[in-house]
Amino acid sequence: MRIMFVGDSMTIGHTGDFTWRYRMWQHLQATFDGRYRIVGPRDALHDTLQDAATSHEYGDPGFPGGARRHLAGWGEGWLHMAPLIGDAIREHRADTLLVSLGLIDLGFYTNADQTAENVRRFVTAAREAAPHIRAVLMPVIPNVRAVTDTAFGAQCDRFNELLAKAVADLDTPASPLLLASEPAGWEIDRATYDGTHPSVSGEHLLAGAFADAMHQAWGVGGPYAAYETHGVR
């Protein structure tokens, strides 16, 4: 299994973050008895002072370099990743994608319907690169802007409906797609440090949503047990 994390600022993280990618790596180390690699063209965090993906100061310096790989970017969404995903899969031979995108698209670039079209372009490009690729897609999860901006909140809800439809339409036995559940217990004040980006608790909740989807559908690893197994630092 060759896993590629695909996401925006919530996935890349910034200087000092552990990231939900790190929590997923911990989970796989603890529960998966098969062979796997985390792959991707990038490995850095976003440095907010330089406004560039140049930081390697993860919350745990012991996070192995190979496990830091990803295809995520601060301010990047489905619009940006659809043209990149094919080459990234070919180069790094990914067979499993864990994707968390959409908030930045809706906030700055495209409306819900346009964003859903980019989801379909992304899946098409991924399958052209690897016909048997499988993926778990995360809906846009609650954030402070969706609460305070009614129109934006409606676009998030509309996109999540369209994302669920895209997953249902595009899922095939040869190239399965899963729609992850919104992380259980996601409370903005606790799960984020600024209303959007995940806190330590939020990192665990995001990793748990992906891990549980993979375990339930594909038998990968076990149920997510961060609080019992990994601690909540």
| pLDDT tens per residue, range 148-175 | 999 999 999 999 999 999 999 999 999 9
Arithmetic mean of pLDDT, 120-149 = 97
- The answer to pTM > 0.75 is yes
94, pLDDT greater than 80: yes
- Confidence band of 21 (pLDDT split at 50, 70, 90): very high
Arithmetic mean of pLDDT, 104-111 = 97
In this structure, the dihedral spanned by the alpha carbons of residues 69, 73, 78 and 83, taken in order and rounded to 10 degrees, is -70
230, pLDDT greater than 70: no
231, pLDDT greater than 70: no
* Inter-residue contact 95 to 134 (CB < 8 Å): yes
* Inter-residue contact 142 to 157 (CB < 8 Å): no
When comparing pLDDT for 84 and 142, which is higher? 84
* pLDDT score for 229: 43
- Confidence band of 180 (pLDDT split at 50, 70, 90): very high
Q: What tokens were used for 64?
A: 């192995």
* Inter-residue contact 135 to 99 (CB < 8 Å): yes
* pLDDT score for 4: 98
| 3.50.50.60, 3.40.50.1110, 3.90.1570.10, 3.30.830.10: CATH of 2-140+151-180+208-224 | 3.40.50.1110
Given the structure tokens 């305070």, which residue do they identify? 148
207, pLDDT greater than 60: yes
Q: d(Cα 97, Cα 227) in Å, to the nearest integer? A: 25
Q: d(Cα 29, Cα 150) in Å, to the nearest integer? A: 41
- Confidence band of 92 (pLDDT split at 50, 70, 90): very high
- Confidence band of 225 (pLDDT split at 50, 70, 90): confident
Burial of 62-84, coded b for 16+ CB within 10 Å and e otherwise, reads ebeeebbbbbbbbebbbbbbbeb
Question: Closest Cα partner for 35 from 67, 58, 64, 1?
Answer: 1
3-class secondary-structure state, position 164: helix
Cβ burial, residue 187 (10 Å; 0-12/13-18/19+): exposed
Q: List, in sequence order, every beta strand (DSSP E) within the chain.
A: 2-7, 37-38, 45-47, 52-55, 71-72, 96-100, 134-138, 177-179
* Inter-residue contact 175 to 134 (CB < 8 Å): yes
Burial of 197-233, coded b for 16+ CB within 10 Å and e otherwise, reads bbbbbbbbbbbbbbbbbbbeeeebbbebebeeebeee
